[in-house]
């Protein structure tokens, strides 16, 4: 399998080397958009990159036994964060980046690792609690 991957990399690398930088950037942008689309679908169906399902969410005490709209809705999580406005693509001639940037990355990071986020009185800036907060600042 790794031999096939190296052969594909060599073949695609030779093709990309023949292109002008603007053409490489355009091709990389199209690939990045397709990658973003597939990753958004993966997030929508709540699967990890390896195809395993996301772990079940904790049951919240305030929703236990309720039959209201929120329980019936079954809306996909993170519907807005998966849009192109927040799920960004950065493509150059040499690399492709697909992901969350800025404050959206912070929100995604907090939710991914189950941290708590709170707003401070001064300026409304978010403060992340937990040991991983040092990596975000």
Phi, psi (degrees; rounded to nearest 5) at 33: -65, -40
Cα 112 to Cα 21, 28, 90, distances in angstroms = 36, 28, 22
Q: What is the Cα–Cα distance from 36 to 88, expressed in whole angstroms?
A: 8
Q: Are 20 and 81 in contact, with CB atoms under 8 Å apart?
A: no
Q: What global pTM score does this model have?
A: 0.68
Summarised one tens digit per residue, pLDDT across range 88-127 is: 999 988 899 999 998 888 888 887 777 877 777 776 655 5
Q: Are 53 and 46 in contact, with CB atoms under 8 Å apart?
A: yes
| Residue 120: strand, helix, or coil | coil
pLDDT exceeds cutoff 70 at 130: no
Tokens of 3: 């031999």
Report the pLDDT value the prediction gives residue 79, as an integer from 0 to 100: 81
Report the pLDDT value the prediction gives residue 29, as an integer from 0 to 100: 94
115 secondary structure, DSSP code: -
């Amino acid at each position: 399998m790794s031999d096939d991957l190296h052969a594909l990399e060599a073949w695609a690398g030779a093709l990309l080397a023949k292109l002008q930088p603007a053409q490489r950037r355009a091709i990389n942008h199209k690939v990045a958009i397709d990658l973003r689309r597939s990753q958004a679908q993966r997030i929508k169906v709540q699967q990890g990159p390896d195809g395993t399902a996301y772990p079940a969410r904790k049951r919240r005490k305030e929703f236990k036994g309720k039959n209201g709209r929120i329980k019936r809705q079954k809306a996909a999580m993170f519907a807005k964060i998966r849009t192109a406005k927040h799920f960004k693509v950065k493509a150059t001639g040499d690399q492709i980046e697909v992901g969350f940037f800025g404050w959206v990355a912070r929100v995604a990071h907090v939710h991914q690792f189950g941290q708590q986020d709170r707003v401070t009185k001064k300026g409304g800036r978010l403060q992340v609690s937990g040991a991983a907060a040092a990596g975000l600042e």
